A and B are shown apart, each in its own frame.
Chain A
Amino acid sequence: MATAPLLPASSPAEKLTLAVVAGGLLALLLALADADATRQKTWFYLALGLVSGGTLAWSWLKFGTAPAGVQQNNLWLRASTGRGAVAWVTGLVLTGFYVVLYWYSGDDGHGHFGPLNNLVHALDGFSQTLRARPADQWFLYGTFYTLAVLLMGARALWKYRHSRYQLIRTASVMFFQLGFAFLLPGLLQFFQQPEFYFTYFWPLKYDYLFPGTVTSLVQNGGLGVFMVFWGAAMSLLATPVLTYFFGKRWYCSWVCGCGGLAETAGDPYRHLADKSRAAWRWEVGIIYTVLVAIVAITALLWVNFAMHSTLLGEAGNVAAKWYGFAIGSVFSGVIGVGFYPLMGARVWCRFGCPMAAYLGLLQKHFSRFRISTNGAQCISCGNCSNVCEMGIDVQQYAQRGAPIIRASCVGCGMCSTACPRGVLNLENGPREGRYQASQLIHADSLRILS
């Protein structure tokens, strides 16, 4: 459309709640700037309170008070969710935060954590209670991350309350982030045990199967041995079995923390994923390269370990270090989350995550999961493709009556939720006839992806 339409103004109550959130962000800046330790703490907790309260109140007003159903109005027309100025500013702030966090917030040896120092120390008390040790920049990050999943999770619960699938799935990612990716690792530290994440597995948490991590865990005794066993069993045994029965969704959109953030904090941006064939070509080119790289590095490290570093010297460790920098930090953090408001919330999951690549291969070739198309009911409206955070052009399958079986699909179920004609359904079923298209429509045989 040539002219931008006038959008309905937010209600005064909505504006007020947004002002509370803005006030919280301001308080956070004051916590960063204030020189006095006590006031820093006050500003910090005031910030958390205002941001939390404001976000919850806004979510309820925005989604909880409207009739239950698909609530996508004016999504592409708003600057915040339609790649407007607000989105660019948000992207810059997020990217900047990650750069500072990863490369300028390390402990300088005297307990100073760079520009984020005041915020880190504001959490010392909480960290002592939970972990019996002072806070560091990663504890600050974990706290922010978990808070984002919980607050925006509450927003998702209100927004999608008409769909039990979305309610249960959202509750699941909130639970796993809070319990298994935040509280439990903290408690383990409290009891002088290794900080271990039971919901992250190799090859996403690549070092869990590196010889260095394995030896150090084993040396820790019984619990450490169990952790090694757990990590190996989840990666090599449970992952294929669970993916066979449920598809990769059991992990990517129900358990994983990266997925959890994408499904909650990233929900306003899911439609921004590029659906073009060009994007798909980048996707398969990059993600399988990352998978091959981490498998090769892991193998290299073990060969080297077995031969007592006689063959390759430091090559494996150097490769692992570079992988950690390029993939672990830049790709999954800076690009993966920093670009949420511009490229959608699953940039990392779609283009970079080796776990997603591994799960995807299993899902495509050894799984009972598919998204069924309901006969010939598709009207090619494009809502399913629009909400696909993985950039799958779902509509291409639906309008041909074909089931959607794609390595990248994380099974979030939003295509099914958004479809206005009840065409799509996530199903686990017999593998025979899994690819069979509906007999009620004559699928054209023209290839879409190649």
Chain B
Amino acid sequence: MHLVIIGNGITGVTCALAVRRLRPDARITLVSSESAHHYSRTALMYVYMGHLRPQDIKPYEDWFWDENRLGLVHATATALSTAENLLTLDNGTTLTYDNLLLATGSESKLYGWPGQHLAGVQGLYNLPDLAAMTRDTSGISRGVVVGGGLIGVELAEMLHTRGIEPVVLVRDAHYWASVLPPEEANLVDQQFQKNHVPVRYNTELREILGDGLGRVRAVVTTAGEEIACQWVGLATGVTPNLTLANTSTIETDRGILVDAHLRTSVANVFAAGDCAQHREPAAGEVPIEQLWYTGRLQGETVAHTICGQPTPYRRGIWFNSAKFFNLEYQTYGRAPAGPTAGLDSFYWEHPSGRAALRVYFRAAAPHAVVGFNALGLRLRQAMCEQWLRAQTPVPTVMAQLGAANFDPEFFPQHEKAMVAAFNRQFPQQLVVLKQRKGLFARHWSPST
């Protein structure tokens, strides 16, 4: 079997590794125009900030690919003929395949703003973007970041480390309003303040102004304010990269349409990761998932189907994480941004504003836990997952909270304060803290 994978991001590479394990005899070829070797997209910011060198964000050393017989082709696939199982590459060669995986990822989404094609205006998604940002922000004094999501805060932090003032435009009344409740968003806002990053809430981009030489000189916001700047970062999301799929007869919508087994409309062609759009997403899940974790999981899943073990994609219990300047964030399960019918939530915040916990649970007895938000605290994923799967009642979770504490040794333990706050907010469900922090603490806890 010759498997060709278009894209050497986390999805394509995870699939390649899983296929190598399942089918040691398979011939596997990865095609990518972006880089000769797989690199970690999530680490681009650390290269810009000088924490890492470009070679440090390669998750595997260069010998890894040869030793595991994973063929690498550094070229762009420009055309796909599914009738002939044939790919045309921009280096003048062609590739035939038995099975094809499209893992072409995303591209930055632009909304047709006037001036969006000026020099110094860009998104941050790939290595060329990083090179452009490095070049275009060298020696400048101010950059405007458009977007109140994860990439927005990353861009602000990146500029900040170079002594460039970032001004962040956020459409909603608070940061990442589609995901974070106002209390959590407020803690992120405190990080912006501590790092002296001005944020304009309820403000969108109206227009980008050029300097007559094709370079950005300012932006105009929907509030009518003109902000002088020499660079604009557009962090308003990404959209599936369909360039190759559109040269073929494969069915697409916003993304490449796939069934539960990540099969496209053509029998031996699969799609996974950012570029795939699920025809029938599971209840409560979105059709296009653009996360590192889901890309990895989809790559792993599709490998089984490709190797003759048809496996439907099951995302499992949701989790995600991020870091906002110095504030870490983890979330597990259902953690809606606003009040939701049938759900209640408990919120605790440390007086310093550097740590917070929210636990979501069903309003109806027995108050099964459905989700967590943690800021400035590290929660043990396996423990949260276990509680969520077992629909553990919230009083039990609060009593055993220490079992989920993943903070380093000697860190202050807040479980007592959290339980006290819980008892104040929900006096009808009095909880006594039974379990403090500890590895496998449940083994020696007298309560279980």
Contact = CB atoms under 8 A, between A and B. Distances in A.
Interface of A: 1-3, 5-9, 67-70, 72-78, 82, 162-165, 167-168, 276-277, 372, 374-377, 379-383, 385-386, 395-396, 399, 413, 416-417, 420-422, 425-430, 438-442, 444-446, 448
A428 B161 CA distance: 36
Contacts of A386: 51-52, 56
Contacts of B54: 1
A47 to B, nearest CB: 32
Contacts, number: 175
Contacts of B63: 277
A430 B321 contact: no
A422 B382 contact: no
The 4 closest A-B pairs by CB, nearest first: A8-B163, A375-B381, A69-B326, A422-B378
Given A277-B61, A380-B42, A372 B408 contact: no
B326 A376 contact: no
B254 interface: no
Contacts of B385: 375, 440
B381 A376 contact: yes
Contact of B51 (A73, A421, A442, A446): A73
Contacts of B47: 1
Given A379-B321, A440-B385, 10 more contacts: A5-B137, A8-B162, A67-B326, A276-B61, A375-B319, A422-B321, A422-B328, A425-B407, A440-B381, A445-B21
A372 B20 CA distance: 27
Contacts of B163: 7-9
A422 B439 contact: no
A375 B321 CA distance: 12
Nearest to B47: A1
B59 A420 contact: no
10 contacts: A6-B162, A72-B49, A72-B51, A77-B50, A163-B411, A164-B412, A376-B296, A416-B408, A425-B378, A444-B20
A385 B20 CA distance: 25
The secondary-structure label for the interface of chain B is mixed
Contact of A379 (B40, B51, B56, B439): B40
Interface string B127-145: 0001100110111000000
Contact of A165 (B138, B322, B380, B408): B408
A376 B296 CA distance: 10
A421 B321 contact: yes
Residue of A380, A395, A417, A420 contacting most chain B CB atoms (<10 Å): A380
B49 A165 contact: no
The secondary-structure label for the interface of chain A is loop
A163 B326 CA distance: 12
B150 to A, nearest CB: 11
B42 A379 contact: yes
Contacts of A167: 410
Interface in B374-419: 378-382, 385, 406-412
A13 B337 CA distance: 44
Contacts of A376: 293, 296, 319, 381
A148 to B, nearest CB: 25
Contacts of B100: none
A444 B18 contact: yes
Contacts of B59: 380, 382, 395-396, 399
A377 B381 CA distance: 8
B4 interface: no
B403 to A, nearest CB: 13
A211 B440 CA distance: 46
A416 to B, nearest CB: 5
B86 to A, nearest CB: 30
B381 A1 contact: no
Contact of B410 (A5, A165, A377, A396): A165
Contacts of A440: 316, 381-382, 385
A276 B58 CA distance: 12
A428 B137 CA distance: 46
B300 interface: yes
A62 to B, nearest CB: 14
B212 to A, nearest CB: 25
Contacts of A372: 406, 439
A7 B53 CA distance: 15
Interface in B1-35: 10, 14, 17-18, 20-21
Contacts of B42: 379-381
A421 B331 CA distance: 11
Interface of B: 10, 14, 17-18, 20-21, 40, 42-43, 46-47, 49-54, 56-57, 59, 61, 63-64, 68, 130-131, 134-135, 137-139, 161-163, 194-195, 292-293, 296, 300, 316, 319, 321-323, 325-326, 328, 330, 378-382, 385, 406-412, 439-440, 443
B325 A67 contact: yes
B378 A374 contact: yes
Contacts of B57: 381-382
Contacts of A377: 293, 319, 321, 330, 381
Contacts of B14: 444
B411 A165 contact: yes
Contacts of B410: 164-165, 167-168
A162 B17 CA distance: 38
A264 to B, nearest CB: 19
Given A67-B195, A374-B378, A382 B18 contact: no
A381 B43 contact: yes
A381 B17 contact: no
Contacts of A420: 323, 328
Given A165-B411, A380-B42, A442 B138 contact: no
B51 A422 contact: no
Given A70-B326, A374-B380, A430-B440, A383 B138 contact: no
B278 to A, nearest CB: 20
B177 to A, nearest CB: 22
A446 B319 contact: no
Contact of A430 (B52, B379, B381, B443): B443
Contacts of B50: 7, 72-78, 82
Contacts of B135: 2-3
B323 A2 contact: no
Nearest to A166: B408
Contacts of A77: 50
Residue of B42, B162, B409 contacting most chain A CB atoms (<10 Å): B409
A282 to B, nearest CB: 15
Contact of A383 (B46, B68, B380, B440): B46
Given A76-B50, A386-B56, A446-B20, A374 B411 contact: no
Contacts of A417: 408
A441 B319 CA distance: 12
Contacts of A7: 50, 162-163
Nearest to A373: B381
Contacts of B439: 372, 427-430
B49 A74 contact: yes
B21 A446 contact: yes
A381 B40 contact: yes
Contacts of A399: 59
Contacts of A276: 61
A168 B410 CA distance: 8
A278 B326 CA distance: 35
A422 B406 contact: yes
Residue of A72, A164, A375, A441 contacting most chain B CB atoms (<10 Å): A375
Nearest to B56: A382
